[in-house]
Amino acid sequence: MINPDDITALILTLKLAGITSIILMVISMPIAWYLSRTTHKIRPVLETVIALPLVLPPTVLGFYLLIGFAPDSLLGNFWFDLTGNRLAFSFEALVIGSMIYSLPFVVQPLQVSFAAIPTKLLESAAILGAKPIDQFITIVLPLARSGMVTAATLGFAHTMGEFGVVLMIGGNIPGETQVMSIALYDHVESLAYAQAHTVSLLLLVISFVILLFTYSRNSNSLRLGVTSSIHAESQL
C-alpha cells in the first residue's frame, strides 16, 4: 500500500506537472509559431537554445538554476522582495525549472504541427479579410489540435519524471518540494524496496496511460484525416 507521504508526493507531482504544462502551452505556442514560419538566421540559434535540455545533463541545468535562484542573485533577490520568501528550494523554483527542462517537449511538437499548415490556406483567409489573430484561432488551432495534445501530454509526462533538476533546485522537503521521483530515491536509499516498488509501479502506470492516450488519439486523428481527404477527393 502507498503511504500518506507518498500520496502527498503524488499530489505535489501532479500539481507541478499540471501547472507547468498549462504555462508551457501558453508560452510555447507563439514561440513555435514564430519558429515554424520564420526564415531569419537567428532561427537555428533559438532552436538550439530550446533543445539544449534534451542533451544537457539535468544536474548541469539544475546547478546553474540553483545559482540563479540564490538569495544574493538578481532573480532570487527580486523574488524575495516581491514575496518575502526564498526562491531556491521552493515549489515556485520547481515550476520554473520544470518549464525550462520540459520546454523542447512542448515547443517541438507544436512547431511541427504549425509548419504542416499550408501557407496558401492562411493567405486565402487573409484575402477574405481574416486578421492574423482570427486566422490563428479559426484555422491554425483546429488544424494543429493533434500536435497540441501531443505537446501538452509530453510536457506533463516529462515533468512527472524529472529528478536531477528538481533535486538540485528544490531539495527534498516533504509536502513542499518532494515529488514522486525524489520519494522513490528516498525509498531506495533507505532500502525500503517494497515502498519503492509501489511508487515505481504507480509512476509506470501513469506514464503508460498518458502515452497510450497520446498515441491512440494521434492514430484516430490520422484516420479521420485520411477519411476526410478521400471524401474531399470523391467530391471533385
Q: What is the pLDDT of residue 227?
A: 42
Helix (H) or strand (E) holding 131: none
Tens digit of each residue's pLDDT (9 = 90 or more) over 106-131: 999 999 999 999 889 888 888 888 89
Closest CA to 97 of 87, 83, 108: 87
Q: How far apart are CA 69 and CA 177, in angstroms?
A: 15
Q: Which residues 6+ apart lie within 8 Å of 229 measured at CB?
A: none
CA atoms within 13 A on the CB side of 42: 5
Write down the number of H helices and E strands in the chain.
12, 0
Closest CA to 33 of 138, 147, 130, 115: 115
To 5 degrees, how large is the angle CA 208–CA 209–CA 213? 115
Closest CA to 203 of 163, 147, 170: 163
Report in angstroms the alpha-carbon separations of 30 from 38, 100, 119: 12, 16, 17
As given in the structure block, the three cell numbers for residue 143 are 488544424
Q: What is the pLDDT along the chain (236 residues), one digit of tens a residue?
A: 788 999 999 999 999 999 999 999 999 999 999 999 998 999 999 999 999 999 999 999 999 999 999 999 999 999 999 999 999 999 999 999 999 999 999 999 999 999 999 889 888 888 888 898 998 989 999 999 989 999 999 999 999 999 999 999 999 999 999 999 999 999 999 999 999 999 999 999 999 998 888 888 776 655 544 343 333 333 33
Residue 112 has phi, psi (to 5 degrees) of -65, -45
Residue 175 has phi, psi (to 5 degrees) of 80, -10
User: Is residue 3 left, alpha or beta, with left meaning phi > 0 and alpha meaning psi from -120 to 50?
Assistant: beta
As given in the structure block, the three cell numbers for residue 125 are 483567409
CATH topology of domain 4-227: MetI-like fold (1.10.3720)
Q: What is the pLDDT of residue 2?
A: 81
Q: Which residues 6+ apart lie within 8 Å of 120 measured at CB?
A: none
Domain regions of the chain by residue span: 4-227
Q: How far apart are CA 198 and CA 204, in angstroms?
A: 10
